[in-house]
A and B are shown apart, each in its own frame.
Chain A
């Protein structure tokens, strides 16, 4: 039994025990952390594996949320059709946006994602007949799935934690697989990979679509949890929140995703209570975070661990 295995076991045990010991308030925060982790994971995968900074992940989340809201609340569709159609919409958008943007890279790619995201945002408050404009759609009730009523926080937790664990496991497998190597090779030296005959564009597409599905599912869960979706969810500031969570948590390992999200959600929950100047303090915390922990919290924590316990396989293999 080595270190990482015990750590994972402890984590799993913690996640299982959590709903029984946590207060209602912690459940609210935990659900938010889990759901945003899906969205931040989608962002982090694109950055770490392909070096692509995509500000479209919250757009995919928003599209998923709007789809379930419109289909279930406004048209009364059943759950299976709603799920299928919503995921289909996210998939189709990912293909369309990917087609437009994936041939670019670096800043060009990022700006394209900003432009596309802003177009979808504009549509969300201007296509009033479909989306109800600025007021958005409220009263989006979570469904009942396999006997679990997701309107109850703890039952929603069960479903959410299973989905999130599956997503992280899949991501971990992907990162350490040949496909992951290919992706990082493309990030390192695209012309060489192309010259070697690797399908560069196809590989980017595959990761982009997988990431978009993670984000879309995260958005759907959030909409069920808060019962509302508005154009604000598609705002650029939400994409910036995700970017910040990923970078502050650290993009060198998947652990950075939950750490970053926990920090952001905690700051969000705590600061507003005590001061009107919470946004200023939030900005200041970000500044110090970037200056003092430039590789993110996860990398810093891993360094600490290595200092006390000697290097492990995880800390030795650095990019």
Chain B
């Protein structure tokens, strides 16, 4: 019996090897979707894919006359594996376009792959600014944002509220650098005094030590997301620091998926994003209601971005009347969506959206914790109040740039 089982196992393993045969191409639109479907950012990836599927369903499974076939793949948070799976989707599945990814480092690897392979990519959520700045490629566009984009408005808002001294605790990598970078550039030019930056490595579980020596300030900002963010918030409460000063967040800090775990103490927390959990427009409500009906929870920003990314593809294919690659790329770059759930979205010359930014406040609405838009700034590009040339002339954001002290000579220019 055991020998038989061994043969079975061996045979199965051999059979697995044969399942790598390539598929024959037919007349359909093949869309490869890639995101974090496992690991620490699994909720972002799976909700993005939910949004994509919803867009496909709403379109009746077709882009114009072409049936849509989705190939959904997990990048497991591993850029090297992501490139291999992207290559597989290109060579084996012969995809016409890629939608995704979600994580920053996967996004950087994907745009490089796209440059080499020529496959059109609609980046759903990855936010490193270089994807549509210093490393921009013709066949890559974004449905989402760059890290600094929502923070220009936030810096100005916070400074004008009279909170001049902010202490920021943030995850030590490029995305938070971009976020506080955008914030500082307007904060310091609108009356702010200082942002004290306390960086911690990713995978920090216990913030009690940082909180024990946290400097006094007018407001506390947490610049990060995910499990680290939730732990930070819980420990802030634990040590009695929550009520003492206003709480600000990076764009993903108060992500609606994390709010239940963080609890009602988050009410009043402020952040900025190109999306809000509660907007008063008919197109948002339609999207939100459909998503809640299907998935039983309020849509995260990643869900709406997956939805918009897929719709960008569908609209482009309809406008072109087919899936000719060069025409598709040209059409994608001309994307103009005045009625996306988040508000009007159109792409700039670099392929990044120009869109509304919302200042969000956490409120309890109908028993649920949601980010409610309390202010709206229109037509914001990835360069904020600057033009491309001026912005790109600055050094890239880092731990120390832009400087935390507003008295620094850097802020005297412009």
A adjacent to B, CB under 8 Å: yes
Judging by beta carbons under 8 Å apart, are A279 and B38 in contact? yes
A146 to chain B, nearest CB (A): 22
Whether a CB of chain A sits under 8 angstroms from the CB of B80 is yes
Chain B residue at minimum C-beta to C-beta distance from A32? B84
Contact with B along A149-164 (1 / 0, CB 8 A): 0010000000000000
**Cα–Cα, bound, A280→B40 (Å):** 16
**Cα–Cα, bound, A289→B77 (Å):** 26
Whether a CB of chain A sits under 8 angstroms from the CB of B13 is yes
**Cα–Cα, bound, A276→B128 (Å):** 27
Identify which of A25, A228, A232 contacts B22 (C-beta below 8 A): A25
Chain B residue at minimum C-beta to C-beta distance from A227? B112
Judging by beta carbons under 8 Å apart, are B174 and A232 in contact? no
Judging by beta carbons under 8 Å apart, are B91 and A25 in contact? yes
Judging by beta carbons under 8 Å apart, are A122 and B201 in contact? yes
A contact residues around B258 at 8 Å (CB): none
B148 to chain A, nearest CB (A): 15
Judging by beta carbons under 8 Å apart, are A134 and B202 in contact? yes
A contact residues around B79 at 8 Å (CB): 136, 138, 226, 228, 230, 232
Judging by beta carbons under 8 Å apart, are B399 and A135 in contact? no
CB proximity to A under 8 Å, residues B79-97: 79-81, 83-85, 87-88, 90-92
Chain A: interface size category: 35 or more
Q: With A270-B20, A272-B74, A293-B6 in contact, is A138–B81 under 8 Å at CB?
A: no
CB proximity to B under 8 Å, residues A116-165: 122, 125-126, 128, 132-136, 138-139, 151
Judging by beta carbons under 8 Å apart, are A226 and B16 in contact? no
Identify which of A26, A133, A263, A292 contacts B16 (C-beta below 8 A): A263
Whether a CB of chain A sits under 8 angstroms from the CB of B108 is yes
A276 to chain B, nearest CB (A): 6
**Cα–Cα, bound, A155→B88 (Å):** 19
**Cα–Cα, bound, A297→B16 (Å):** 14
Judging by beta carbons under 8 Å apart, are B73 and A272 in contact? yes
B contact residues around A87 at 8 Å (CB): none
A contact residues around B72 at 8 Å (CB): 276
Judging by beta carbons under 8 Å apart, are A138 and B77 in contact? no
Chain A residue at minimum C-beta to C-beta distance from B108? A138
Whether a CB of chain B sits under 8 angstroms from the CB of A97 is no
A197 to chain B, nearest CB (A): 45
Whether a CB of chain B sits under 8 angstroms from the CB of A288 is yes
Judging by beta carbons under 8 Å apart, are B20 and A26 in contact? yes
**Chain A interface, >50% SS class:** helix
Whether a CB of chain A sits under 8 angstroms from the CB of B157 is no
Contact with B along A223-238 (1 / 0, CB 8 A): 0001111101101000
Q: With A134-B104, A269-B88 in contact, is A263–B135 under 8 Å at CB?
A: no
Q: With A134-B174, A270-B16, A276-B37 in contact, is A25–B88 under 8 Å at CB?
A: yes
Judging by beta carbons under 8 Å apart, are B174 and A133 in contact? yes
B40 to chain A, nearest CB (A): 12
Judging by beta carbons under 8 Å apart, are A133 and B173 in contact? yes
Judging by beta carbons under 8 Å apart, are B201 and A228 in contact? no
Judging by beta carbons under 8 Å apart, are A28 and B87 in contact? yes
Whether a CB of chain B sits under 8 angstroms from the CB of A266 is yes
A contact residues around B112 at 8 Å (CB): 138-139, 227-228
**Cα–Cα, bound, A201→B266 (Å):** 59
**Cα–Cα, bound, A24→B37 (Å):** 26
Chain A residue at minimum C-beta to C-beta distance from B17? A266
Whether a CB of chain B sits under 8 angstroms from the CB of A222 is yes
Q: Enumerate chain B interface residues (CB-CB to A < 8 A).
A: 2, 5-6, 9-10, 13, 16-17, 19-20, 22, 37-38, 46, 71-74, 77-81, 83-85, 87-88, 90-92, 104-105, 108-109, 111-113, 115-116, 128, 135, 172-174, 201-202, 398-399
- Can you give 25 contacting A-B residue pairs, CB < 8 Å? A28-B84, A128-B173, A128-B399, A132-B174, A134-B173, A135-B104, A135-B108, A135-B128, A138-B109, A226-B80, A226-B109, A228-B83, A228-B108, A228-B109, A230-B80, A230-B105, A232-B78, A262-B17, A263-B16, A266-B17, A273-B71, A276-B46, A289-B13, A292-B2, A304-B10
The 3 closest A-B pairs by CB, nearest first: A25-B91, A24-B91, A25-B92
Given A122-B201, A139-B112, A228-B83, 16 more contacts at CB 8 Å? A23-B91, A126-B201, A128-B399, A133-B174, A135-B173, A138-B109, A151-B116, A226-B84, A227-B109, A266-B16, A266-B20, A269-B20, A272-B74, A279-B38, A292-B5, A297-B13
